[in-house]
């Protein structure tokens, strides 16, 4: 792995909690990458995530598009988001990071945080916006900001468009893999870990495509029903942290331990919660044929090698969950308007093309899809740098 351009550790003077910012790379002087908050978050984790963002940006490079990829970055705060002190820590972190957010780091929600919370904390920290660093790159800043604000106000059946775009992309990745393998949607079973932003939207889009969601896990445990769960009822019963109120469970739904989602009898497994969920010691319990990484870094490399050896395909995070980030920029730069159907159609088209490209490359090179995605990135980064300049 190349050394990041910038890597820093911040210590909160009030609580002693630590926060991290890693800027892996700049393109036209700017980088993109969300901010996560979780107990135990480390600089290593944030470094890996920042590198992943560089890849996600490069993978969506379309020479014809208005959106020109940025560099990759990531922020992380080592604190439980439910800690009563969490919000004040977030504000102090953003205040300390203000020079970076103002000039070169565009950020948004990630694990443990919602965009509303990031926006509120950013305002309190004296920032114009969490993505203000990109404004100088816009042709018509006023129109672009209005378009993005309007897009954020769009809701589809109780969930904001900003929370749906990423899962729409994850679901389309699943459908593309099924299509290539000639597997029908109906009767294909899915288990999802995490029912927050990514997990919820993925579950909704897959259920609406005709797949059966038979297990979902949140921080309190797994909910399973081999006959299929009522996804919309579970989504509607979530609190702000993505925890489902068990009062809505139906008679056939069962409550199982937290890690039961992993060994559910399914074809598709979607880790959509924490990093490092699947390691060498628990991968043996997986019977799924595909693991689709809605979360960032949920499968450890040693586990992936063991899974590949027994024919389980991992569709990598850098491709699969890249839809959220791309949607922000497609909207802001004007490739799409503030419209859900247009956003979903564009996301589906782009994600299907990307997954096809990756799987074809993996087949041609005889590698894993992840290695293929990395190879595509390695081809594109110099092209982007040649066109927009080297910043590292």
Ligand X SMILES: NC(=O)c1ccc[n+]([C@@H]2O[C@H](COP(=O)([O-])OP(=O)(O)OC[C@H]3O[C@@H](n4cnc5c(N)ncnc54)[C@H](O)[C@@H]3O)[C@@H](O)[C@H]2O)c1
Closest residue to ligand X: CB criterion: 196
List the one residue from 160, 242, 316, 334 that touches ligand X (CB under 6 A): 242
Q: Binders of ligand X among 177-196, rule CB under 6 A?
A: 193-196
42 binds ligand X (CB under 6 A): no
By CB under 6 A, name the one of 272, 307, 326, 355 that touches ligand X. Answer: 272
Least separation in angstroms between residue 221's CB and ligand X is: 8
The three-point CA angle 30-34-38 to 5° equals 145
> Using the rule CB under 6 A, is 148 a contact of ligand X?
no
Q: Which residues contact 74 (CB under 8 A, 6 or more apart)?
A: 21, 22, 24, 33, 34, 35, 36, 46, 47, 49, 50, 52, 53, 110
Q: Is 169 in the site for ligand X (CB under 6 A)?
A: no
CA triplet 389, 55, 304: central angle to 5 degrees? 155
Q: Which stretch binds ligand X (CB under 6 A): 97-105, 138-146, 223-231, 294-302?
A: 294-302
Residue 197 sits in the site that holds ligand X (CB under 6 A):
yes
Cβ 287 to ligand X shortest distance, Å: 19
Segment near ligand X (CB under 6 A); pick from 14-22, 65-73, 104-112, 345-353: 104-112
Q: Which is nearer to ligand X, 225 or 325 (CB)?
A: 325
At residue 206, what are phi and psi to the nearest 5 degrees? -70, -40
Element at 360 (helix H, strand E)? helix 340-365
CA angle in degrees (0–180, nearest 5) for 295-299-304: 145
Residue 111 as a binder of ligand X (CB under 6 A): the answer is yes
- Among 82-90, 103-111, 126-134, 371-379, the segment contacting ligand X (CB under 6 A): 103-111
Tokens of 332: 């802001």
Q: Which of 273, 291, 299, 373 binds ligand X (CB under 6 A)?
A: 273
Site for ligand X in 207-236 (CB under 6 A): 217-219
Q: Which of 296, 313, 347, 368 binds ligand X (CB under 6 A)?
A: 296
Return the range that interacts with ligand X (CB under 6 A); candidates 105-113, 125-133, 283-291, 339-347: 105-113
Select 168 or 175, whichever has its Cβ closest to ligand X.
168
Give the per-residue SS3 of 52-117: HHHHHHHHCCCCCCCCCCCEEEEEEECCCCCCCCHHHHHHHHHHHCHHHHHHCEECCECCCCCHHH
CB atoms within 10 A of CB 294: 31
The phi and psi torsions of 256 (rounded to 5 degrees) equal: -125, 170
Residues that bind ligand X (CB under 6 A): 34, 36, 109-112, 166, 193-199, 217-219, 241-243, 258, 272-275, 294-296, 321, 324
């Amino acid at each position: 792995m190349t050394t990041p351009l910038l890597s820093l550790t911040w210590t909160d003077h009030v609580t002693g909690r630590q926060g991290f910012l890693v800027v892996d790379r700049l393109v036209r002087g700017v980088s993109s990458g969300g901010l996560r908050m979780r107990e135990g978050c480390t600089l290593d984790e944030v470094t890996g995530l920042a590198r992943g963002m560089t890849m996600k940006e490069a993978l969506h490079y379309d020479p014809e598009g208005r959106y020109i990829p940025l560099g990759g970055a990531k922020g992380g705060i080592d604190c439980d988001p439910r800690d009563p002190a969490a919000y004040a820590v977030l504000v102090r972190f953003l205040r300390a990071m203000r020079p970076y957010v103002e000039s070169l780091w565009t950020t948004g929600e990630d694990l443990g945080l919602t965009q509303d919370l990031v926006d509120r904390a950013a305002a309190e920290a004296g920032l114009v916006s969490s993505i203000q660093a990109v404004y100088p790159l816009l042709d018509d800043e006023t129109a672009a900001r209005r378009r993005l604000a309007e897009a954020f106000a769009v809701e589809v059946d109780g969930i904001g468009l900003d929370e749906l775009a990423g899962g729409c992309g994850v679901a389309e990745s699943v459908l593309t893999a099924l299509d290539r393998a000639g597997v029908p949607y109906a009767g294909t079973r899915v288990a999802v870990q995490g029912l927050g932003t990514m997990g919820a939207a993925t579950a909704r889009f897959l259920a609406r495509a005709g797949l059966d969601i038979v297990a979902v896990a949140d921080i309190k445990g797994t909910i399973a029903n081999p006959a299929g769960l009522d996804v919309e009822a579970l989504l509607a019963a979530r609190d702000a942290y993505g925890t489902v109120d068990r009062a809505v469970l139906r008679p056939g739904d069962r409550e199982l331990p937290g890690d039961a989602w992993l060994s559910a009898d399914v074809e598709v497994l979607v880790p959509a919660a924490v990093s490092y969920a699947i390691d060498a010691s628990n991968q043996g319990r997986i019977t799924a044929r595909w693991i689709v990484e809605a979360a960032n870094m949920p499968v450890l490399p040693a586990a992936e090698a063991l899974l590949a050896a027994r024919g389980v395909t991992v569709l990598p995070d850098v491709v699969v969950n890249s839809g959220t980030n791309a949607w922000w920029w497609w909207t802001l730069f004007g490739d799409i308007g503030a419209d859900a159907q247009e956003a979903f159609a564009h996301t589906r088209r782009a994600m299907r093309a990307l997954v096809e490209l990756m799987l074809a490359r993996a087949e041609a090179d005889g590698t894993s899809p992840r290695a293929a995605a990395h190879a595509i990135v390695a081809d594109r980064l110099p092209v982007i740098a040649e066109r927009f300049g080297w910043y590292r």
